[in-house]
Amino acid sequence: MPANKHICEAINIIDGLTLSGGGDIDGYFLGQPTHEMATDIWPTRDEAEINIVRLAYERDMPILGICRGLQVLNVALGGDIVQHIEGHKQAEARNVPTHSVKISGQLTEIIGVADIMVNSIHHQAAGSKVPTPHLQVCGVAPDDVIEAICAPGKRFVVGIQWHPEELIHISEHFRIFEEFMVSILYK
């Protein structure tokens, strides 16, 4: 069955969209050859997620992108990604924060701090300092890798490069999910 056959129906029955982590985005959707280090490529998933993000964004539906989800969000709204970076796949367990992220803008309001320790389990990332005209950078790693993007003016559109679901025991990470749920429940 084609990935996009039921997207218009699905968008009508959901109140918020979470884009999870997972495999790498096919270079086709970037207008580039796929990087040799790319793994778990699933173009059907890429196409479906890109299309549902566009619909959700147009409807001002709350969107939370986690890791790959940040990358899909950025690509769907006209940005690009770096297909391979070194040094962002931690050896420690996923529930161990390993590097800091400087937080700004809307994300500071959500989590209540200007710096946060995060885990790091990725090798692709948003590709430029201003990812797309629809989004702003709201989190950067010490090596200048974009770690968070937000859409000011929207109810809730946040992409984060780390996995807060693995760090839910830390209140700042829990607040991301809490604010996402509040944006759904209190339109």
User: Domain for residue 63, yes or no?
Assistant: yes
Question: Residue 132 domain-assigned?
Answer: yes
Is the pLDDT at 129 greater than 70? The verdict is no
Q: For the chain, how many structural domains are there in total?
A: 1
Average pLDDT, the chain: 90
Q: Look at residue 1 and tell me if it is in a domain.
A: no
Annotated catalytic sites, by residue? 67, 163, 165
Across 11-25, 74-88, 89-103, least confident range: 74-88
Query: Who contacts 106 (Cβ-Cβ below 8 Å, separation ≥6)?
Result: 136, 138, 150, 152, 158
Tokens coding 159: 């992409």
Q: Is residue 60 part of a domain?
A: yes
Q: How many residues does the chain have?
A: 187
Q: Is residue 93 classed as helix, strand or coil in its secondary structure?
A: coil
Helix H or strand E segment including 7: helix 7-11
**Range in 41-45, 97-101, 110-114, 157-161 with the lowest mean pLDDT:** 41-45
Residue 27 domain-assigned?
Answer: yes
Average pLDDT, integer, range 95-100: 94
What is the DSSP secondary-structure string of 137-166? EEEE-TT--EEEEE-TTSSSEEEESS-GGG
What is this structure's pTM? 0.92
Range of the domain at 19: 7-185
Query: Is the confidence at residue 101, as pLDDT, over 60?
Result: yes
The answer to whether residue 24 is domain-embedded is: yes
Each residue's pLDDT tens digit, 140-162: 999 999 999 999 999 999 999 99
What CATH code is carried by the domain that includes residue 122? 3.40.50.880
Higher pLDDT, 157 or 36: 157
In a domain, 82, yes or no: yes
Asked if residue 29 is part of any domain, the answer here is: yes
At residue 1 the predicted structure's pLDDT band, cuts being 50, 70 and 90, is very low
